Structure 1
Amino acid sequence: MDTSSSFLSCALFIYISLFLSFTSAEDPTVTYHFDISYITASPLGVPQQVIAINGKFPGPTINSTTNNNVVVNVRNKLDEDLLLTWAGVQQKRSSWQDGVLGTTCPIPPKWNWTYNFQVKDQIGSYFYFPSLNFQRASGGFGGFIINPRSVIPIPFDNPAGDITILIGDWYIRNHTALRHTLDAGHDLGMPDGVLINGKGPYRYNDTLVPDKIDHETINVEPGKTYRIRVSNVGVSTSLNFRIQNHNLLLAETEGSYTVQQNYTSLDIHVGQTYSFLVTMDQNASSDYYIVASARFVNESTWQRVTGVGVLHYSNSKGKASGPLPQPPQDQFDNTFSMNQARSIRWNVSASGARPNPQGSFRYGSINVTEVYILKNKAPVTINGKRRATLSGISFVNPTTPIRLADEFKVKGAYKLDFPTEPLTGPSRMETSVINGTYRGFMEVILQNNETKMHSYHVDGYAFFVVGMGYGEWTNDSRGQYNKWDGIARATTQVYPGAWTAVLISLDNVGIWNLRTENLDSWYLGQETYIRIVNPEKNNKTELPIPDNALFCGALSRMQKPQDISSGLKGHGSMVVVLSLSLIMAILSGFVV
């Protein structure tokens, strides 16, 4: 063999070895393309504008596995800015991909933008939705599943099927009209209905439910057990979920396996997701009702907006009929729902995304380094505007996102002065942010001084729900904390006139949104951010700013025109293949 051939063979061997090493080291990628646009639909029998993904409402379920890289190319066909956020999905080391205004500039109309993040060390059931301009009230949402790796055992037998159900209150007015109502200083009023997977109620009552409304049907086989993942994607209403004559065996919630318990029904608050195992063990003489009904409201007023679908056995002999299964009869028992919530416990012996048991992280023995008491109250008037507050501050979204301002040292974009306790003076509108300590352990007490239920969510983290109770939280309330198997999740309810305490291990560097999931209060300013910075400058704990980052506010001048090839960036295997072809051509030329 001559020198040229030897060089070619050696070069090819080295390059192919590097190529194989590169591709095998990469975690798998799941890729989705979302065309987000308006369509006309009639979920409650009245034509209205909804937000669809690829022409469908709701959007597709993202199906991924632990450690997968998730790539979602978004084409914004709306007439306004857009961002998607991933409720409970932790973008490890990359708040750039979080999809809220505090971290990322919005995607302008007619633009493409590609999300690219890794679902590292996670399993579980979640959903995604548009985070801007009240858009979630018009749709744009879908399920998000993170499956465990095959080498990690799950604490139950493999189900016969996996079913995603999205429930939520619904208005016939679109998100633009609802925004205008809030901007004018008014409440939204009662929703027009409750949808199940974007569809209206089954006609269980000829008087209450109009004819020719499309309803959701879930098809199952008798005797089999299915995993049913249920998310409340609505505007502001807690819903009770139940399936006629069937037990709901709770198995997981927002990335944590639970102690498995049977419920005849479960309250699912706005922004929450639960995963049930349901065995089809009933007589197939007829179909069965699937019900999502409003909670903590005037029951007689809300009767007309109950969400009803159908569970259909393959050998069913007839349609569902008769009265709907009853919701909890606890109108005069304020503790029933809270006790149900307290009964949801962490399965400390089950493995999560890794082979070690969930309970190997002994959160109850970690010293708390910082405490924040966050209190809400009924909307107030600030500078002539009706606003919602958290600890006396109504958050104002910055023109330059906080994370972007940090990266390019933009001064005055925000204040790092969010109070540890509620303000005693007048409420104010500010871009005020919590200064979190990297690798600290934060205790957050959420005090709900309103007369309605709230759900609170933290992006980028799962927190431990360690306590809840009625009345005002005090230092003595810590004596009630569950320091062993409190559930780890991303969204917790706070009952009216009550408090909920959570513990957060601040190990994920970035700027992370803390908000109410009630869209009306969120829109009016009931949110803040937790800023977590690693003081060690050379320690790579956060991914760099993405190549396709958008620029706005004080950095608008840096924004380049739309690059239609931007969606291809970040796909290393494509780059390697192209490079291999190029080297082959070069080496061929060398040999000649």
Structure 2
Amino acid sequence: MGLFGLRFYCLVCIGLVLSSGVCYGGDPFANFDLEFAYVTASPLGVPQQVIAVNGKFPGPVLNVTTNYNVVVNVRNQLDESLLVTWPGIEMRRSSWQDGVLGTNCPIPAKWNWTYQFQVKDQIGSYYYVPSINFQRAAGGFGGFVITNRKIISLPFNTPDGDIVITIGDWYTRSHKDLRDALDDGKELGMPDGVLINGKGPFQYNSSVPDGIEHATLNVDPGKTYRVRVVNVGVSTCLNFRIQNHNLLLAEAEGHYTSQQNYTSLDIHVGQSYSFLVTMDQNASSDYYVVASARFVNQSEWQRVTGVAVLHYSNSKGKASGPLPDPPSDGNDNSYAVNQAMSIRMNNSASGARPNPQGSFRYGSINVTDVYTLRNIPPTTIDGKLRATYNGISFVNPNTPVRLADNYKLKGSYKLDFPSKPLNRPPTMDRSLINATYKAFVEIVLENNDTVVQSFHMDGYSFFVVGMAYGEWTENSRGSYNRWDAIARSTTQVFPGGWTAILVYLDNVGAWNLRTVNLDRWYLGQETYMRIVNPEDDGQKTEQPPPDNVFFCGDLAHFQKPQRSAAALSIQELTKLNFKLLLTLAAVVYMVI
């Protein structure tokens, strides 16, 4: 091949890359490889099998910037199927990448699958986590941070450092034993402890046995750190506090908050926050970092407390003495509700875009649809212990929802989920909400269970406008915050209480609505909103199925054996790493 021929060949390669449909307007790419595998660890002093990511427990923190295209190749080295979900990442126009059973076929053991999505117009603190087989109780989670673009200023001085903390209740039983217990109709019982960054409690008194490794946060005096905290646990709300330090709340799940100080904050399962913490204390000793169980019998749950250490670089000794006290609200239900509703949007701050994030005047928009989702304690349905919304315990369809739609399968699911609780016996069903594209929806969450719950909506952030104990009525709307309610993707619903949210349904796809409490989720307390643009005949508002889509259920016959990376076509390779191929082709062209 002559010089002209070589250059022509390179131009063809560049053309293939440019025509592969993955450039997304020239936004940068961030590529990650995540291997999920079992390792043996002893976070509470008892050797057990946990799920590590790239050999780490918890897994590595993924750092990207607003508008980046994120490519994550997940290798499943477990002995069972795996799906990874990205709570709070809105996956604009692409529920195909959401990583739950209603949108993805599971990744079989020893296979891999590549997620590709854009973090369009998002900033903030998130996480990734397994979504099936009760695997979250074994680990497999890690932080996911979206940094703002440099052209968008922060609503606070640039911190001197960034610290990601995962907290969560923990069982020494394996995730398989825990799900077997639920399958046998048993409750999980009290957790064995609370982990902070995958480690057990510091030995703050004699109740903590010897030999448990604790987490240490190393800081320098006088500096201010952005401390990102996410509750990745099974089902327990945790109160987070740092001894003698104020927590200046700055962000909640991708939205800047009105900045105010807390001595402690309740962080419910699945919630994440950013605090600005200034190291303004003397260094006579280290300080406790505490995550303790809330809304439980404190005397019985005393051992379910996570304790880490905040270590100043000039510290003169170890932390000692009693732990800082949790909130002393006792039977005062109003304390927790008032604290939750005190978290407000910073309407003057820019988020991912240069305009103030409060410019969306949600309070003046007319509500077009109202849904009430009521849950009750788990009940027996057809001989099995199940959890419900509106009397329906969700059974995942064999074929993911939009994949079934794309292949015009009939009977895979039903679009008859009731908009309010009905007076009928509970049942198991594949019932979805047939939601209207661009509707402005009010969802009232009623928790008739005995435990506090978290509610999460994939694909969206919603405005938390109201929350209270007692029964919701039409008059409750008079208490709604219609100006600066925080927008987030996960909210708490107190037992015997209600929470009201408002959301604009502009993201097409099939989006999971669920309790984040892992036991209730496993038992069926979830459903989906199916949102289709009836005028979209050219797939402008929803991406088509990805080229690497897995097939299962009624479409399993389409699935081909997994090929190695060496056998991939050039078109497939370009989709895996657009920037790398483009750079190589350009370099070869210049050299020759």
Q: Into which bin does the TM-score normalised by the smaller protein fall?
A: over 0.9
The question of 1:271 aligning with 2:270 is answered yes
2:465 aligned residue = 466
How many angstroms does 1:452 deviate by?
0.6
Q: Partner of 1:544: helix, strand, or coil?
A: coil
How many angstroms does 1:539 deviate by?
5.3
Distance across 1 between alignment mates of 2:134 and 2:14: 50
Aligned counterparts, 1:352-371, within 5 A? 352-371=351-370
The question of 1:158 aligning with 2:158 is answered yes
Q: Partner of 1:109: helix, strand, or coil?
A: coil
Distance across 1 between alignment mates of 2:49 and 2:8: 62
Q: Residue 241 of structure 1 contacts residue 268 of structure 1 at CA under 8 Å; is this kept in 2?
A: yes
Deviates further, 75-84 or 468-477: 468-477
Query: 1:6/1:367 Cα in 2 relative to 1: closer, same or farther (>3 Å)?
Result: same
One-letter identity of the residue aligned with 2:87: A
Q: Residue 228 of structure 2 contacts residue 273 of structure 2 at CA under 8 Å; is this kept in 1?
A: yes
One-letter identity of the residue aligned with 1:37: A
How many angstroms does 1:568 deviate by?
3.3
Residue deviations 1:258-310 (CA, integer Å, cap 9, x gap): 00000000000000001000000001000000000000000001111210000
The question of 1:568 aligning with 2:573 is answered yes
How many angstroms does 1:80 deviate by?
0.3
Q: Partner of 2:125: helix, strand, or coil?
A: strand
How many angstroms does 1:572 deviate by?
2.8
Q: Residue 17 of structure 2 contacts residue 581 of structure 2 at CA under 8 Å; is this kept in 1?
A: no
Aligned residues: 582
2:342 aligned residue = 343
2:250 aligned residue = 251
1:415 aligned residue = 414
Distance across 2 between alignment mates of 1:85 and 1:346: 26
The question of 1:451 aligning with 2:456 is answered no
One-letter identity of the residue aligned with 2:201: P
Residue deviations 1:420-477 (CA, integer Å, cap 9, x gap): 1112110010010011111111110000011110000000000000001111111111
Aligned counterparts, 1:188-199, within 5 A? 188-199=188-199
Structure 1 residues without counterparts, runs of 5 or longer: none
1:221 aligned residue = 220
Distance across 2 between alignment mates of 1:580 and 1:502: 50
Q: Residue 233 of structure 1 contacts residue 270 of structure 1 at CA under 8 Å; is this kept in 2?
A: yes
Query: 1:461/1:221 Cα in 2 relative to 1: closer, same or farther (>3 Å)?
Result: same
Distance across 1 between alignment mates of 2:127 and 2:86: 6
Query: 1:19/1:433 Cα in 2 relative to 1: closer, same or farther (>3 Å)?
Result: closer
How many angstroms does 1:65 deviate by?
0.6
Aligned counterparts, 1:39-50, within 5 A? 39-50=39-50
One-letter identity of the residue aligned with 1:191: P
Q: Partner of 2:86: helix, strand, or coil?
A: strand
Query: 1:533/1:322 Cα in 2 relative to 1: closer, same or farther (>3 Å)?
Result: same
Distance across 1 between alignment mates of 2:426 and 2:43: 40
Distance across 2 between alignment mates of 1:102 and 1:140: 20
The question of 1:84 aligning with 2:84 is answered yes
How many angstroms does 1:11 deviate by?
11
Q: Partner of 1:212: helix, strand, or coil?
A: coil
How many angstroms does 1:84 deviate by?
0.2
Q: Residue 92 of structure 1 contacts residue 118 of structure 1 at CA under 8 Å; is this kept in 2?
A: yes
How many angstroms does 1:538 deviate by?
2.8
Distance across 2 between alignment mates of 1:202 and 1:543: 48
Distance across 2 between alignment mates of 1:224 and 1:420: 51
Q: Residue 51 of structure 1 contacts residue 57 of structure 1 at CA under 8 Å; is this kept in 2?
A: yes
Query: 1:563/1:395 Cα in 2 relative to 1: closer, same or farther (>3 Å)?
Result: same
Q: Residue 449 of structure 1 contacts residue 496 of structure 1 at CA under 8 Å; is this kept in 2?
A: yes
Aligned counterparts, 1:193-592, within 5 A? 193-206=193-206, 208-536=207-535, 537-538=537-538, 540-565=540-565, 568-570=573-575, 571-576=577-582
Residue deviations 1:34-64 (CA, integer Å, cap 9, x gap): 1110000000000001000111100000101
Query: 1:545/1:283 Cα in 2 relative to 1: closer, same or farther (>3 Å)?
Result: same
How many angstroms does 1:543 deviate by?
1.2
Q: Partner of 2:303: helix, strand, or coil?
A: helix
1:27 aligned residue = 27
Q: Residue 48 of structure 1 contacts residue 172 of structure 1 at CA under 8 Å; is this kept in 2?
A: yes
Distance across 1 between alignment mates of 2:110 and 2:400: 21
One-letter identity of the residue aligned with 2:283: A
Distance across 2 between alignment mates of 1:54 and 1:318: 34
2:100 aligned residue = 100
Q: Residue 251 of structure 1 contacts residue 259 of structure 1 at CA under 8 Å; is this kept in 2?
A: yes
Distance across 1 between alignment mates of 2:98 and 2:120: 14
How many angstroms does 1:25 deviate by?
4.4
Q: Residue 104 of structure 1 contacts residue 403 of structure 1 at CA under 8 Å; is this kept in 2?
A: no
One-letter identity of the residue aligned with 2:274: S
One-letter identity of the residue aligned with 2:169: D
How many angstroms does 1:7 deviate by?
12
Query: 1:377/1:8 Cα in 2 relative to 1: closer, same or farther (>3 Å)?
Result: closer
Q: Partner of 2:176: helix, strand, or coil?
A: helix
One-letter identity of the residue aligned with 2:65: T
One-letter identity of the residue aligned with 1:150: K
Distance across 2 between alignment mates of 1:386 and 1:13: 61
Distance across 1 between alignment mates of 2:463 and 2:426: 29
How many angstroms does 1:546 deviate by?
0.6
With structure 1 as the length reference, what TM-score do the two structures score? 0.95
Query: 1:108/1:15 Cα in 2 relative to 1: closer, same or farther (>3 Å)?
Result: closer
One-letter identity of the residue aligned with 1:58: P
Percent of aligned positions that are identical: 68
2:129 aligned residue = 129
Residue deviations 1:546-574 (CA, integer Å, cap 9, x gap): 11100000000000110222583513344
Q: Residue 369 of structure 1 contacts residue 441 of structure 1 at CA under 8 Å; is this kept in 2?
A: yes
Query: 1:244/1:581 Cα in 2 relative to 1: closer, same or farther (>3 Å)?
Result: closer
One-letter identity of the residue aligned with 1:163: I
Q: Residue 112 of structure 1 contacts residue 564 of structure 1 at CA under 8 Å; is this kept in 2?
A: no
How many angstroms does 1:583 deviate by?
8.5
Query: 1:550/1:325 Cα in 2 relative to 1: closer, same or farther (>3 Å)?
Result: same
Structure 2 residues without counterparts, runs of 5 or longer: none
Distance across 2 between alignment mates of 1:19 and 1:342: 49
Q: Residue 10 of structure 2 contacts residue 585 of structure 2 at CA under 8 Å; is this kept in 1?
A: no
Deviates further, 536-545 or 298-307: 536-545
Residue deviations 1:311-350 (CA, integer Å, cap 9, x gap): 0000000000000000001112111011000100000010
One-letter identity of the residue aligned with 2:573: L
Residue deviations 1:384-415 (CA, integer Å, cap 9, x gap): 11100001100001111112111111110000
One-letter identity of the residue aligned with 1:436: A
Query: 1:13/1:521 Cα in 2 relative to 1: closer, same or farther (>3 Å)?
Result: closer
How many angstroms does 1:26 deviate by?
1.6
Q: Calculate the aligned-residue CA RMSD, in Å.
A: 2.4
Query: 1:583/1:283 Cα in 2 relative to 1: closer, same or farther (>3 Å)?
Result: closer
Q: Residue 17 of structure 2 contacts residue 578 of structure 2 at CA under 8 Å; is this kept in 1?
A: no
Distance across 2 between alignment mates of 1:283 and 1:167: 26
Query: 1:383/1:40 Cα in 2 relative to 1: closer, same or farther (>3 Å)?
Result: same
Distance across 2 between alignment mates of 1:368 and 1:93: 23
Deviates further, 364-373 or 533-542: 533-542
Deviates further, 236-245 or 403-412: 403-412
How many angstroms does 1:416 deviate by?
0.4
2:144 aligned residue = 144
One-letter identity of the residue aligned with 1:146: I
With structure 2 as the length reference, what TM-score do the two structures score? 0.95
Q: Partner of 1:87: helix, strand, or coil?
A: coil
